[in-house]
Structures are given as C-alpha cells and as structure tokens.
Structure 1
C-alpha cells in the first residue's frame, strides 16, 4: 500500500548562471520520487543574493580558489552525471551578461504555469553551461519555450511580461526569502521537517540532506521506483 504520510517539503533556490545549482537541481529532480519529497523550485537572482549578503564570487576573492573552482566544477559534473561545459567567454557570459533576464523569464513562466518551470530551467542551464548559447535575448527565450512545448500564446505572454513589476517583484521576493533563510549563494536548499527549517548550501551535501529527511543517499543517480500496475 502506498504511503499516506505527507511529503516533506524541500525548496531549491537557484539561478541558471550557477553550475553548482544545476547539479543540485538535477539530483533533487532525480530523488523527488525516491524520497517522496514535495520539491519547490524557487528561481532567484544570484547577483542579488551575493550583493545583499556581502559575499564575493570565489573567482574574484581568492586567486587559489579561482584556479581550483574550474577543476572542481568538472569533477563535480562528472560525479553528478551532468554533461557540463564552461562557456567560451566564461567571465563575460556569467558576469557581464549575467542571468537577470533569464531568471525573469523563468519567473514569468513559473507564475503562468509552474509545470514548465523544471524543463525551462534545465534548457537554460544546457544553453549556457553545455552548448555555449545565449540566455539573454528574446529569440533565445522563444527557442527555449518552443523546445519545452509551451503554447505560443502563453510563451508570448511570458516573454512580454519579463519587465513587468509583478515579475520583478516575484523574483525579488524569492531572492529576499532565500536571504532570510540564510542564503549567501546558490544553490540554497531548505528542508522543512517536523516544523523546522534546515538550510543547506551547495550541491555536495546530499548525505546530510538525506539524514535530515530520514532518507538514504545512494549516490547521484538513484534507482527510480517503477509504478506497479
């Protein structure tokens, strides 16, 4: 008999500019039906979190870390089984162009029909961190929307409202919510268990998250339970 216990809520605060957020996102998506969690995807603007928390990007704050991070990202992508590749112009793409427009697009889609949020986010990550493609132009958002099957009317609405106050406010609200819960970067994961909130930073704390949830971590690619008919 299937369990009737309520699912445990897990929130992921993420930005598609962040490779580590992508790794956390993919693992949580793989585990949501294994751990039976209610996964809430919450798009934020990483630049806002960094600024408001007083954090400094690792490649700017420490020379040795700037050397280490690229190696670590590739090792982590291999371990997490996520096909990753830095953009050719990494600094220009991630810092000069950034992800504000992309995260507003994700937010607009999420507010209209959240069933598309997961796939839209995944495609945006793939564009910037696998295919070295743009995530800032309207044409890019149109391609992403078509790729995930968003109807033209909804897609046009999402794109046309990117600069609306309601979209900006939602993105700001989620960013501020992450900060209130202790965020200083991305990914930030918040688990709600027994009336308490546990904040976890990064994509390499899944054994700790499993322990908090009372579940088992079996690596980045679990066996997905099959529904019996």
Structure 2
C-alpha cells in the first residue's frame, strides 16, 4: 500500500476542488492518504510568490474560474464573503483533532464545506463556534492542545518546504509531487503505471537550463 500525502490549506479554492476530486483520481488503488494542513502563505513567501489573489486581473479570473469549476465538477463552490482571509484559525482548529500533524477526511471535509459552500464569512465567530460541533469528539481538550496545534502547523509547513512543496493543493507519492487540481490526471496515470514515467522526462525537467538572466 502506497502512502499519499495531500497538502492543503483551507484558504485555497483549488484545494477544495482537488479534495473533492481526489477519491476518483485514486480509485482502484490501495493507498493511505495523509491529509496534511500547511500554511500556504509561508509556501508562497518562500518563493516570493504573491499568489493569484495578489495579482490584479488574475484575482478576478481565479474567482470566476473556481466558481465555474465547482459547478462543472458538481461539488459546488461559492466564494466566501471575504477572500483571501487569514486561515490560521481554521488550520489550528483542524490540527486540534490531531497528534501527528495529519487529519482525517471527515475533519477536512467539514472545514472545507464551512469555507466554500454558502458564501458566508469564513471567520465569523458564530460560524466558527458552530463548526466545532461536528468535530467535538475529535478535538483535543488537554492543557497543551492549542500550543500543539500551532507547533504541528509550523512543523508541517517546514517539512513541506523542505520537501519542495511550493503551493497547494499538492499530492506527493513515491517522492514525486503532483501540483494542483489539473495535476490529478497525471497522478492517476502514474499510479496506473503509465510508461511515460519510465522515461527521463520527469527528471530532466529539473535540469533544463533557463534562457533568462537574473535581474
């Protein structure tokens, strides 16, 4: 059985879309999925990347595109009242259900739906309180739970950066990283034993010289 790491941040609409599509991409394969919350902002900062929401024009297009994709894929997606927003409260809530840095699919699904269905404010205090109800049996309440959640998020993010994760959603298996919703068909092909992966195209991509000089 292969272990598959699914890196996510609840602020990313593409993470919600890929989360919905992942079971179909893995269908027919014996895998163990580890859902791993990370702080997208830290990944972007590592590469001086403002992300789509930080680029005029691209921000509006992204919101149109993901809304269409939610409709097209059948999972739904309504932009929250404000975006982007600070995802730390949601990431830390998720990791209050964990002791090893990974969360189960039920927890991830509950929080993704909280953000991406209905169009309400993701950080509304009353909504956050209501979100804890379905997670109550999993949320750790010992004295160190809050600090442990913070530490797990930091550790997850640092480990993701060290592994070369540059954004979410990202799926890692066998040392290979598949990025984005549109990377899922490639992931499926790899798991299916597609002959393309036996060639040198994967490794040669990392060795391609650039024709641009540093500014």
Note whether the superposition's TM-score is higher than 0.5.
yes
**Structure 1 residue 117 corresponds to structure 2 residue 104:** yes
User: Closer, same or farther in 2 for the Cα pair 1:117/1:38, shift >3 Å?
Assistant: closer
Instruction: Indicate the RMSD between aligned Cα atoms, in angstroms.
Output: 2.7
CA distance in 2, matches of 1:84, 1:160: 35
User: Closer, same or farther in 2 for the Cα pair 1:178/1:60, shift >3 Å?
Assistant: same
Contact 1:188 1:199 survives alignment (8 Å): yes
CA distance in 1, matches of 2:133, 2:25: 27
Partner residue of 2:95 out of 72, 91, 107: 107
- CA deviation after TM superposition for structure 1 residue 189, in Å: 1.1
Normalising by structure 1, we get a TM-score of 0.73
Larger CA deviation: 119-128 vs 38-47 = 119-128
1:87-166 superposed matches below 5 A: 87-88=80-81, 90-91=82-83, 94-95=84-85, 98-111=86-99, 117-136=104-123, 140-148=127-135, 150-151=136-137, 155=139, 157=141, 161-162=145-146, 164=147, 166=148
Counterpart for residue 211 of structure 1: 189
Secondary structure of 1:76's partner?
helix
Normalising by structure 2, we get a TM-score of 0.77
Partner residue of 2:16 out of 18, 22, 26: 22
CA distance in 2, matches of 1:207, 1:140: 35
Unpaired runs of 5+ residues, structure 2, are 195-215
User: Closer, same or farther in 2 for the Cα pair 1:64/1:41, shift >3 Å?
Assistant: same
1:1-229 superposed matches below 5 A: 7-32=1-26, 34-61=28-55, 63-88=56-81, 90-91=82-83, 94-95=84-85, 98-111=86-99, 117-136=104-123, 140-148=127-135, 150-151=136-137, 155=139, 157=141, 161-162=145-146, 164=147, 166-192=148-174, 197-214=175-192
Contact 1:11 1:189 survives alignment (8 Å): yes
User: Closer, same or farther in 2 for the Cα pair 1:159/1:212, shift >3 Å?
Assistant: farther
